[in-house]
Homo-oligomer: A and B are copies of this chain.
Amino acid sequence: MAAADSIWLRPERASRGPAPGYDRDALAAAGVALADAQGLSAVTMRAVADALGAGPASLYRYITTREELVELMIDRAHAEIRHPERTGAWLDDLLALARESRRVTLAHPWLLDATATRTPMGPSTVGYLEHALGTLADLDVPTRDKLEAIAVLSAVVSALARTEVAQSRNGRTIPDWQQAQAAYLAHIAAEGRHPHLAAAFTHQTQTPEPVDDLFTRIVTGVLTGLLR
């Protein structure tokens, strides 16, 4: 196995030897269950092995590294993104796809951590990309602009989902770092050296916009700005 082989190009089973007791899908499912319940950091090799009833070192018969396990988990989650039927109106279609992406991200918040630094490409992720490009097929702009718009769209959806997750956790227990950040910002605002920021904070007290409206408004703005 060459060093630069994708797990998606490597055969799952060898031709010789005893039948494997597990498979990639089982590892991915166990990892997703753990991450859904306790976050991505709970997905340790030992925890996944335990969940499968396997020994800690057995996982390395299926993956070469922990990162590959996360890749499997990401693609498994991305498979939950439904591809809405095309209506012909590219903006509506792309909005529908973005909403699906948001839904799955909120269902698996650890995706924000897993895809924070890069987005590994697996079958489902590639399928998502193909569908997004298909949505824009009839639009007369350079292919380059379409790819850029899709990339920016993903970044924006992630950013929005991140703030949503942070706020939804407020209902239960507020993480230490958020409390510390809020305290510091309050101090800054009270200090008087940042008038625009202080003004922005007091303006914040109006009735909040429904999240769905906010999502639609921002995504629409970004997409129309990029695709004329």
Contact = CB atoms under 8 A, between A and B. Distances in A.
Interface of A: 3-9, 67, 112-113, 116-118, 120-121, 126-127, 129-130, 133-134, 137, 143-144, 146-148, 151-152, 155-156, 158-159, 162-163, 166, 176-177, 179-181, 183-185, 187-188, 194-197, 199-200, 203-204, 206, 209, 214, 218, 221-226
A199 B148 contact: no
A142 to B, nearest CB: 8
A183 to B, nearest CB: 6
A147 B159 CA distance: 13
Q: Which of A166, A179, A200, A214 has the most chain B CB atoms closer than 10 A to its own CB?
A: A200
Main secondary structure of the interface of A (DSSP, over half): helix
A7 B176 CA distance: 12
Q: How many copies does the complex hold?
A: 2
Contacts of A129: 194, 197
A183 B6 contact: yes
Contact of A200 (B7, B116, B117, B143): B143
27 contacts: A3-B176, A4-B176, A5-B180, A5-B183, A6-B183, A8-B184, A67-B177, A112-B117, A116-B117, A120-B181, A121-B184, A121-B185, A129-B194, A130-B195, A130-B196, A143-B199, A143-B200, A144-B206, A144-B209, A146-B200, A147-B200, A148-B214, A148-B218, A151-B163, A223-B225, A224-B225, A225-B226
